[in-house]
Amino acid sequence: MCGINGIISGNIEDKGTRVKAMNDRLSHRGPDDEGVWQDGEVALGHRRLSIIDLSDAGHQPMLSACGRYVMVFNGEVYNFRELRNQFDYPYKSHTDSEVILAAWLKMGPKCIELFNGMFAIAVWDKKEETLSLVRDRLGIKPLYWSLNDNGLFFSSEVRALLASGNVSKELDDNSVVDFLRYQTVQTPNTILKEVQMLLPGTILNYSIKSNEVSLDTYWNLADKMQQHKPGSYDEVKKQVRNLFFESVERRLVADVPFGAFLSGGIDSSAIVGAMAKVSSNRIDTFNISFAEDEFSEAPYARYIAEMHKANHHEIHLKPDDFLHLLPDALSAMDHPSGDGPNTWVVSKMTKEAGITMALSGLGGDEVFGGYAIFNRMAALEQRKWLWQLPLFLRKMAGKSLASLKPGVASSKMKQLLEMAEYNFEEAFATSRQALMDPQLEGMLNRDKLPAHNPVEWLKKQNLNGKAGVLSLVSVAELSTYMQNVLLRDSDQMSMAHALEVRVPFLDHKLVEYVLSLPDNIKRPVTPKKLLVDSMPDLLPDYIVNRPKMGFVFPWRDWLKGEMHSYADERIRSIAQREMFNEKGVLDIWNRFLKGDAGVTFSRVWPLVVLEEYIRLIG
């Protein structure tokens, strides 16, 4: 796990110095080694967090044996040992990085289809004078890029791009709307006008001669929903179990101390159970509990740890401990997010407990239908007849509902009923929306709000008719909330502490298989039924039927109490910025302070985060 940087330009003379500055900005991602390679119009940089082959032989930028290709790489290719012997290559290390080069030398970009892992790769072809940027299938590892008159710039983080001195800090007005709607910005856009994020499953090709880019898709999530006849339920369970165990086993390859996050929920318990079965070593597990004893997840985590004879670590934090750490968590932001501080604190405590790599249950809910939205969207699909009623009747019903039962859920249902006709994309996006459009219209100085990015993105995937509604929801969740909130937060906040996080539920082979299953096989009539039925020895009733908890912080009370002056100052500051309507912003803030049911903390917190981010980038 590392950080990568690069500049390809014929106009900048001090590229090496600038890439060194970009490297320095990523020092938290790679404290073990750094390197800069420069030749003519190209400079590549790398910061290394050593996970596999800790020797100097893993130094990057790495040149191919023939000298034609130069590579920087962030992430892990889990099946590199299987691939190593497929290529006749004079290996000098035991790294996955060198296997990538060996495969590239033989096959070019087509080799990416062989890789199982999480990765962001940059390869410079000295002969053709072209750059290839590659991002993994599910978007686990980030890769940002910017193209302007000075050339092409790329990095693992936005702040390193800005450190080059050649990328503008100007905010993108439409992306600000996107962020306030969904607490993130939909890929390929970012909060900055001049910066893009490479889409998952995509290769970017850049020629210095033309100063132009082209994009090729090598894997697309929505194409993996083609339904097939899976055989009996017992056969499905066996296949799910095999794919899951293979995924976990692949992710145990490391030359550093590692462990697993263990909340005691279904997903983390399954991972720890599989780790214990496939590993010959005792597993280290980490439970970080923020709640009081009677609401704590610690007993469930302790139960699973004892069941598998794990070396269990309990880290107890009080809400005030988290509050004390919050300013440092916000200062670690690379891109604004409504939920990043939680991950920052968990990663900090885990790293301080002595490990460098951890497995996480991220993705289990999205793949196996763990969120309430799966059943909610299925119910909406069954009630599509409502949208055959006249629009004026639906508007009256929505207005009455919002009046009789004011709150977030009612305002979302009101917006749904006002759709011209029912469609999955808009219904899904509305369920994920924070600030609703009528609220935003009063807060922003603009005549018209832009189209909803998640809706536009999902429509491009032409999802209708490809699969059942549960697979549609999985694709939508994985492509929006998972990719642009959870994975982005997981990467930037864990790597702020040089902690690598691996996510077995997002193995592309497992994801592809579950997406292809019909709804009747995986309908979550009980929590994540298919996953639970496939792992009965790992998931006892005590865990499966426990109350769902998670980290719960008293945000509402904090924003009205201990954090009031901090939040109030930032909200009043952002209200005065040109794109905002001061009166509208302060109205939302005051409604929250007065306890308006339609303005929860998650509607005002993004304003605080956005102002803090604007200050961070200067």
Residues 6+ apart with CB under 8 A from 514: 240, 367, 368, 474, 522, 530
Distance CA 189, CA 161 (A): 15
Which one-letter DSSP state was computed for residue 254? -
| Exposed e or buried b per residue across 253-292, where buried means at least 16 C-beta atoms within 10 angstroms of its C-beta | bbeeebbbbbbbbbbbbbbbbbbbeeeeeebbbbbbbbbe
| Exposed e or buried b per residue across 131-166, where buried means at least 16 C-beta atoms within 10 angstroms of its C-beta | bbbbbbbbbbbbbbbbbeebbbbbbbbbbbbbbbeb
Q: Find tokens 């073990």 and name the residue.
A: 32
Residue 66: active-site member: no
Distance CA 43, CA 20 (A): 9
Distance CA 454, CA 127 (A): 40
Q: Out of 2, 160, 413, 544, which one is annotated catalytic?
A: 2
Closest C-alpha among 304, 230, 236 to residue 271: 304
Number of H helices, E strands in the chain: 27, 17
Distance CA 174, CA 70 (A): 37
CA-to-CA separations, 452 to 96, 177, 178, 198, 328, in angstroms, rounded: 40, 9, 7, 20, 32
Q: Find tokens 């090598």 and name the residue.
A: 218
Distance CA 370, CA 269 (A): 14
Distance CA 183, CA 162 (A): 22
Distance CA 96, CA 119 (A): 11
SS3 284: strand
Cα 67–70–72 angle (5° rounding)? 150
Q: Are 521 and 468 in contact (CB under 8 A)?
A: no
For residue 464, give the H/E element and its range: none
Could you tell me the two tokens for 167?
A: 């990328």
Q: Report phi then psi at 4, rounded to 5.
A: -125, 150
Peptide bond preceding 142 in cis form (omega within 30 of 0): no
Distance CA 121, CA 132 (A): 8
Instruction: Give catalytic residues, as residue numbers.
Output: 2
